[in-house]
Structure 1
């Protein structure tokens, strides 16, 4: 069956007033702060009044390692929410906001696809309610205040060689990875080497997505380390009195955004840290709000389960006290064939042996997820070229892993195409089978936490690092940061740090080339391999095809 382009489907949506969507969750109209007729923020006052309410069931959607063939994690998240609504369950969806960098670079959009989309699609993928602009402004305000402090006498005796706070911009721009600031003479300050990260890699983004309320937000912002003195003691954002003004800039951004799916299921779209260079989950405040308003909340974690799901469990759930009830692991026959060794131009032909070979990647993720004590169900995201023999091969493999697989056709059929999975997920969540536990305890030393993730999730043989990294971790432990979880930054395309190594590699080496302390967010980032905190645009960026048509409508987002 031919399906129209995503943007055309989204444009034809019969959206309901956002007050009506809020009413489905019991949110009074006066507690919604509208941005037009189809999106709104939920007020802090209303959220504060939900404290103590019983929480609904939490369902995580994750995926195998991404390939150019596509997996459809967000599409499945949206479809599953619609499917739960169709079978009579009070459901809500929680996903991240889209970054302009990937939208104009590789992806072109991040709101689901086909008939499993969140709308308004164009606004969500562009400026939306301005949250990312607020985060960018707050981050760069701190950078400006830091340089200003140094310029006007440097009261805190900051060593300008040890300023660690970079600037950010919400765009893929490789030219900004390393820059020199304050050139042009005495009036412009003291020249030093610095650089830009993409906004979604900002610690401010991570903090906004982990903070419980505005007071917690300001405390965490104040805890951020921006530089070190000549005696190597840290300088915090509160030392230069930046935390208050930053909180003011972020006040509205802290309020979750409410929108809807094509089938009018309520959707909270809030925050957007990357999963390879940050923790990859939507905000704690959005997830907890949804759990107190709906019986079932479907959320997602970025990229493959080795990154997004691990961080969802070990960072977000650990810090927020969340207890997931079920995990849905998304795979496609096409992606499994790529993991089985086929090239993209070979995916149209039936190849059951390649599917079986590629299932090793799926199996590794199933076993990894089970190690967290949460039941796992596999969603086979259907493509029209999939054959019965290939689908049966996936089902048989998954059964051999002690799990079950469901064929899902939500992309073409909306919620009706995923009712079977929705029914089964609700049954599993209601059975209270989950015995969730993070991968490692808080008291484990930082280096051992890094090794634990690399060995148990990536199946690495060894983790390597220079002595300076070991010394840095030991210093942070001595300063009282040893209890923090680790946030592993590596390629999303492989269990290893080699993006070309597909399947389920064993015995590889994970090199840790840098560690960063995110004291405000509350984790230590371990940068492995050649991962970049400022992506570049591809040879032919999606931006080349994004434009306004003669009717003034956006074209090229997909």
Structure 2
């Protein structure tokens, strides 16, 4: 089954001696026509909606299921400025399994323009482990984010117009919770005042913008099962409250149909390819620190109808994206995860052990031993979901043999399956050890009964759900609710929304709500400042600490380094 090409074979990519930029590698790679990818994947012509030669949308209603595909979830340790390479590892794993003759597909999120132009960069992988065309994927792609932004802002305009035109629904302008959105990091839009200029310009109101990736319509798109369910969820969204504190929904405003019409094409998953020629379904892009952090349910199901193994992701670490994958997405979609890969790097472990970013290339066993507690906590979290994880060490040239040996001994002592991944440098050829480990785990899971994979029962109430996650996943000893959050908790109970799952919005850098507490802090307090019911998405957003739903740009944003020449060739993307 395994491909026998060795690392020294001239066919094998090598990005170690003279590393190239991600965009240069992607641009030099000859892409297959998307119709060829679809044909290889078993997607009929009737289901394919080409967007040019290298990307397409797929109509899931035209597909028939192949049976029960195996589902592999890729998550990571707590992210650091050094980068962990979760998407890179996922794509490399897909190409490795593809080389081993598996019918495999990737299911990933679409990149948000905010991070692409900000500090994080894109989300199309890196080195020889990428999805392509990376420029399209990292920029406008097929317009899904634009559709979400248009629908969100159309609804905002309808709300303001309704109030201006007589306010038949008795909406209290001070209690409108719906915000506009934009797919940029723009701190100046966090708080704005609309309706200034006199009566002809509407009713003045204090509001703000959310980044598109954190909008409720993004979450609705990612959890909808079909067009009918999308319309139902859009209609169920709460936009604010009346003067007597009754919730007002989109259906009451009468625009659920209009919003669905704007989303008609966006609901279909996007099909592209990996550098290794495997199919990749990229659809939806909610952030995991301020949303539920998973690609669309439709994309995952579509991939599972076309492949025997589907590798998908959840944003950031196990405490954010992975927990929400199990407790929100898998609960809604009745998905069962067969294997989990936790991505880590020696550099990031040392960062969690207290090493400054500029010193991460230096060997430091003391910091490695201290920082490994972070990885251990993430492994413990995944085990709570009835899966024994595989740890993939995304290798860097600065890693030393002594450091790698220390990790192997630690993993052996802890009974943890740990493998090294070299997919950034060698593509799927550098992920053979990881692919073999995944094969072994999948084979072992066939002999086990499928146990529930959720941490909490929403029926026990929002407060119980938050407390359970805080203690079992974050290592907190208690939860402190602000007076505003307490009032909102009572309002949730009053409106019959206390049994919804929770989507905790928390810093990605720490298990606590303080981004400076690295490693694996224990006994801290989770500070809940606000509860926002997302009745269309079907969960309650729990804002903690000082996390914001509209990020800002860094001092040296990536946008300063992106350029395009006279022939239209883009540079500077990563």
Give yes or no for the alignment of 1:18 onto 2:42: no
CA contact (8 A) 1:363 1:398 kept: no
Query: Structure 1 residues 231-240 or 400-409, which shifts more?
Result: 400-409
Measured in 1, the distance between the counterparts of 2:261 and 2:537 equals 18
Q: 1:475 aligns with which of 471, 491, 499?
A: 491
Aligned mate of 1:186, from 176, 191, 199: 199
Residue 410 of structure 2 corresponds to residue 383 of structure 1: no
- State the Cα distance separating 1:482 from its structure 2 match: 2.0
Instruction: Name 1:262's counterpart in structure 2.
Output: 275
What's 2:45 paired with? 29
- Alignment check: 8 A CA contact 1:136 1:199 kept: yes
Q: In the alignment, which residue of structure 2 is the partner of 1:437?
A: 453
Q: Does 1:290 align with 2:317?
A: no
Contact 1:380–1:407 at 8 Å: present in 2 too?
yes
Q: State the Cα distance separating 1:480 from its structure 2 match.
A: 2.1
Structure 2's unaligned 5+ residue stretches are 1-15
Whether 2:256 is the aligned partner of 1:243: answer: yes
SS at match of 1:443: helix
Deviations 1:328-359 (A, max 9, x none): 00000011111111111211222222211110
SS in structure 1 of the partner of residue 407 of structure 2: helix
Q: Does 1:396 align with 2:380?
A: no
The match for 2:4 is none
Matched, 1:522 2:535: no
Q: How does 1:69-84 map to 2 (within 5 A)?
A: 69-84=82-97
SS at match of 1:510: strand
Distance 1:258 1:55 in 2: 21
Structure-2 separation of matches of 1:173 and 1:552: 27
- Three-state SS of the structure 2 residue aligned to 1:481 is coil
Q: Name the CA distance, whole Å, in 1 between partners of 2:213 and 2:443.
A: 35
Deviation at 1:441, TM superposition (A): 1.2
Q: Give distance in 2, aligned partners of 1:327 and 1:272.
A: 20
Task: Please give the secondary structure, in 1, of the residue aligned with 2:496.
Answer: helix
User: Aligned partners of 2:287, 2:485: CA distance in 1, in Å?
Assistant: 23
TM-score by length of 2: 0.95
1:188-211 deviations in Å (ceiling 9; x for gaps) = 111110110100110000000000
Give deviations 1:497-516, integer Å, cap 9, x for gaps. 11111100111111111110
* Match among 261, 266, 279 for residue 292 of structure 2: 279
Secondary structure of 1:303's counterpart equals strand
Q: Is the 8 Å Cα contact of residues 214 and 254 (structure 1) preserved in structure 2?
A: yes
Larger deviation, residues 462-471 vs 159-168:
462-471
| CA distance in structure 2 between the partners assigned to 1:362 and 1:161 by the alignment | 45
Query: Do the aligned partners of 1:108 and 1:556 also contact (CA within 8 Å) in 2?
Result: no
* Paired residues, number: 555
1:474 Cα shift? 2.8
1:358 maps to what in 2? 371
Alignment of 1:407 with 2:420, yes or no, is yes
Query: Pick from 86, 91, 99: which aligns with 2:104?
Result: 91
Asked if structure 2 preserves the Cα contact closer than 8 Å seen for 1:484 and 1:522, the reply is yes
Of 513, 521, 524, which aligns to 2:529?
513
Deviations 1:419-473 (CA, angstroms, capped at 9, x unpaired): 1111120221232246342001121111111111111111012110123422322
Instruction: Tell me if 1:420 matches 2:433.
Output: yes
- The root-mean-square deviation of aligned C-alpha atoms, in Å, is 1.2
Give secondary structure in 1 for the equivalent of 2:241: strand
SS of residue in 1 equivalent to 2:459: coil
SS in 1 for 2:532: strand
Shift of 1:477: 2.5
The answer to whether the 8 Å contact 2:46/2:62 transfers is no
Match of 1:133 among 128, 146, 159: 146
TM-score if structure 1 supplies the norm length? 0.98
Q: 1:531 maps to which residue?
A: 547
SS of residue matched to 1:259: strand
Residues 1:462 and 2:490 aligned together: no
Does the alignment pair 1:231 with 2:239? no
Aligned partners of 1:18 and 1:37 also within 8 Å: yes
Q: 1:46-87: per-residue Cα shift (whole Å, max 9, x none)?
A: 14xx26x52200000000001111110000010010011111
Please say if 1:446 is aligned against 2:462. Answer: yes
Correspondence for 2:334: 321
State the match for 1:218 in structure 2: 231
Q: CA deviation at 1:44?
A: 4.0
Separation of aligned partners in 2, 1:540 and 1:424: 40
- Which residue in the other structure is 1:46 paired with? 62
Residue 284 of structure 1, CA deviation: 0.1
Question: Are 1:501 and 2:501 counterparts?
Answer: no
Residue of 63, 68, 71 corresponding to 1:58 = 71
Mean CA deviation greater in 348-357 or 329-338: 348-357
User: What do the CA deviations read for 1:369-427 (whole angstroms, capped 9, x no partner)?
Assistant: 10110121000001011111111211222233332100110110100111111112022
